[in-house]
Chains A and B, each alone.
Chain A
Amino acid sequence: MATTPLLAMVRKDLQLFFSDRRAVIMSFAVPIAIASFFGSIFSGTNRNEPARISVAIVDQDDSPISRLVLGGAEADKNLRVSTSTVDEARDLVKRGKISVGVVIPKGFGERAGQAFFGNGEKPPLDVLYDPSRNIEVAMVRGIMTEHIMQAVSREMFGGEQGRVLVQKALPEIEASKMPDDQKKALVDMLKSVNSFYSRPGAGADANRGPRGITMPYTVNEQAVTSGENVAYNGYAHSFAGMGIQFLLFAAANLGIEILLERQRGLWRRLRSAPVSRITLLGGKMASMTIVCLMTLLVSFTFAIVVFGVRVQGSLLGFLGISLACSIMAASFGLLIAALGKTPAATRGVTTLAVLMMVMLGGAWVPTFVFPQWLQQLTIIVPARWAVDGLDAMTWRGIGVSGAVVPVAVLLGFALLFWGIAMSRFRWEEA
């Protein structure tokens, strides 16, 4: 391969790139701005505290049990609870101000107490929810279950309402058509409870009051990052994702530039020179790779300096993935130039292709939110290997071994794209 023409092509493409202010901004400033935004969302304001879910609770019952439920919810670190009327709660959900409204209806405490021992109809708990926030609804459902079970059992085993309900339940059970052996067992248990109530200070812990049923375990959560006491930095993922996205956009633009060059007759001049096809596309590939690598490294340098992102794994692996990713993106740009017809038509299709690629690659949201079949499918998306690889080298803190497979796969994609581009490129200039 002749080096003088090759170097001239690289130099010329870089000159053109840096002379285009729009291209430079799109490649460097925009990914930093968007990644910073996404990073701030995913990192939260305080990394040690979870984001609270806003819930409105409507207590129409105002019973000891409903008040215990409300108190438990208010004390929960996962919820931000407000109280309101049903109409207010519905309006807040409708406007998207809160994700869930919980209505504790009149008589809920009494009926829940009866149902607790299986001899009454279960009372409904009305839940008003925003269908666009299903994940939060599921979380609230679980949290409310915990507080209701705790409140009902606590009241049933030690509260005044429980005492009344047990005394009321005994004759009802005696009169029921329950099988005798079951009836006896239940009556014996309730009598024991009744006798428990008769003791002075029954059921009450000297210091903490009656406890009822509680969660029989505590959770010791440990974020698995690159090491102990190393907090997860959401900016690492967002800069990887946005870096890949804009690197692909940069490569796509350079591919479209080739189409524009053809439209302006420049390829007639290039092809009339005694330069091989490999030199021509190799020069393009080299300049695109340099631009892509700069895009990625500038973004990450910003993230390191401003947001404290660190390459916790292997620096060599990080650079290897960055380079492989840039080569893959450059070959993607060539593929666009080879398959595209006109610049305008190609731009639209390319934008869609890049967005699909980065979306499926987990650049916007992690791939675990996808259905299982889609998660499997995304292994054919190069952006996924790039994002996963950069995550591995940054906040996951995996060593150079974690870079081997992503680098190999990305270079494999690059080879595939290059091969298709070489075979499909329109070499003849009529």
Chain B
Amino acid sequence: MRYLTDRKRAVGMGSAKSGTAHFWAMKVSSVALLILVPLFVLTFGSILGAPYEEVLAYYQRPFPAIVAALTLIVGLEHFQSGAQVLIEDYVHGTAEKISIILVKCLAYGMMATGLFAIAKLAL
């Protein structure tokens, strides 16, 4: 039997820290996506398959462009948050830290690329 107090046993193990904020951010973005995802499927789905000129004209309209931009922002923000939890569950140590950094780079890189493309199409 080791003479350790509960506090001593917990020190250095790390805590949830910003776990509540993380949970709340996921909840807020998921509710936002409940509205955005059907709108995006409807708008993107109706123009996919159309010729180049029609696609350009379609994304020059405010509604499809704003829906696409918002879906990419909220969707990829939601993704980087969720993918972080996935990595934290299965990968540990240095590989965990590197994987989280890479997945966030991917998410924000894709978000920026998508927003650039939508802005260029719309303007």
Instruction: Report whether chain A binds chain B.
Output: no
